[in-house]
């Protein structure tokens, strides 16, 4: 697996007459963990889909490695965790995880990687349940396992832990950090949570609204591996405070 970075230039996206993204540039270095942080409706989900080559921007260009993003899709390099779990209702958790993997040609429908992925998100015990028998948080974790089981070079995650309680969320953050450390995947991660962004990221892209654009990039220079007790350190609070200022001030100015 060759890990590639993503580079997007001059991205603009409009739905009808609504301009959602305007003149946006972003770089995601190969193997890095990059976060999109911003208020609701600023276009994070839209940008994430564009970066993964599954949504074509109105203007602009997305390159993954040396090729247009579409080619990374064709090469099955993209793993996607959307904001909603979007599980197939008539398949069990295990079958859901296995389906995309087998379509992508990354192995047989039932092999160890499927169970490993479910184990990783703490759902080995629920593998045979159907989506309507899962809680919202469990369903979202199945969708994370589905992306992980694909073993993609690039992992795009849209508020994957949004539906989880604080404790599960912290432990999922640690799990994700260790998966990233072990596999060296390129990860683009969307979140509302400042703490989550600081904890996980190499770089945080702060997005502004109307139209969606990147108003600040902050590099998080905290040593890895990062542990949960980091959350109380002065270093961590420093970053959090600065990000919060970025998010709050421009919004008030805009209103």
Partner 1 sequence: MTATAPARPAPLTSSAPTSSWRLRWSKLWPPLLVAVIVVVAWELAVDVFDVSSYIIATPSEIAAEIVANWQLLLTNTWVTTQEVVYGFLISIVVGVALALAVVRFRFLDRAIYPLIVLFQVVPKVALAPIFILWFGYSMTPKLVLIVVIAFFPITLNMVLGLRRTDEDLLLLMNSVGSSKNEILARIQVPTSLPYLFAGLRIAITLAVIGAVVAEFAGSQNGLGHQIQFASTQLDTAQMFAALIFVSVLGLVLYYLVGFVEYLFKRRFPHLALADV
Q: Which residues would be at the binding site for partner 1 (CB under 8 A)? A: 49, 52, 54-55, 73-74, 76, 78-80, 82, 84, 86, 88-91, 99-100, 103-104, 130, 132-133, 150
Three-class SS string for the chain? Answer: CCCCCEEEEEEEEEECCEEEEEEEEEEECCCCEEEEECCCCCCHHHHHHHHCCCCCCCEEEEEECCEEHHHHHHCCCEEEECCCCCCCCCCCHHHHHHHHHHHCCCCCCCCHHHHHHHHHCCCHHHCCCCHHHCCHHHHHHHHHHHHHHCCCCEEEEECCCCCCCHHHHHHHHHHHHHHHHHHCCEEEEEECCHHHHHHHCCEEEEEECCCEEEEEEEECCCCCCCCHHHHHCHHHHHHHHHHHHHHHHHHHHHC
Answer for the pair 33, 66: CB distance below 8 angstroms, yes or no.
Answer: no
Binders in 80-119 for Mg ion, by CB under 5 A? 83
Q: Does 2 bind ligand ATP (CB under 6 A)?
A: no
* Cβ nearer to ligand ATP, comparing 20 with 154: 20
Output the smallest distance, CB 158 to Mg ion, in A. 6
Output the smallest distance, CB 43 to ligand ATP, in A. 4
**Phi, psi angle pair for 69, to nearest 5°:** -55, -35
- CB under 5 to 8 A by kind: which of Mg ion, ligand ATP, partner 1, none does 46 bind? ligand ATP
* Cβ nearer to Mg ion, comparing 65 with 160: 160
Binders in 41-70 for ligand ATP, by CB under 6 A? 41-46
Output the smallest distance, CB 11 to ligand ATP, in A. 12
| Binding residue for Mg ion, selected from 5, 39, 45, 168, defined by CB under 5 A | 45
Binding flags for ligand ATP, 79-118, as an x/- string (CB under 6 A): ----x-----------------------------------
* Cβ nearer to ligand ATP, comparing 60 with 65: 60
Output the smallest distance, CB 212 to ligand ATP, in A. 6
Give the binding site for ligand ATP (CB under 6 A).
15, 18, 20, 38, 40-46, 83
């Amino acid at each position: 697996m060759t890990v590639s970075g993503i580079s997007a230039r001059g991205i603009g996206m409009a739905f009808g007459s609504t301009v959602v993204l305007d003149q946006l540039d972003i770089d995601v270095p190969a193997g890095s963990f990059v976060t999109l942080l911003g208020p609701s409706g600023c276009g994070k989900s839209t940008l994430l889909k564009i970066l993964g080559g599954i949504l074509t921007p109105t203007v602009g260009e997305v390159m993954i490695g040396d090729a247009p993003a579409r080619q990374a899709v064709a090469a099955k390099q993209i793993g996607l965790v959307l904001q909603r779990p979007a599980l197939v209702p008539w398949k069990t958790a295990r079958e859901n995880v296995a389906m995309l993997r087998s379509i992508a040609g990354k192995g047989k429908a039932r092999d160890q990687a499927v169970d490993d992925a479910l184990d990783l998100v703490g759902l080995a015990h629920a593998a045979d349940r159907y989506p309507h028998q899962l809680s919202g948080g469990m369903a979202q974790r199945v969708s994370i396992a589905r992306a992980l089981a694909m073993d993609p070079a690039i992992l795009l995650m849209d508020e994957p832990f949004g539906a989880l309680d604080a404790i599960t969320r912290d432990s999922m953050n640690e799990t994700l950090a260790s998966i990233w450390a072990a596999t060296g995947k390129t990860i683009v991660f969307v979140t509302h949570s400042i703490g989550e962004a600081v904890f996980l990221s190499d770089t945080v892209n702060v997005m502004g609204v109307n139209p969606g654009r990147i108003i600040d990039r902050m590099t998080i220079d905290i040593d890895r591996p990062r542990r949960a007790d980091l959350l109380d350190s002065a270093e961590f609070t420093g970053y959090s405070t600065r990000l919060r200022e970025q998010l709050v001030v421009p919004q008030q100015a805009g209103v």
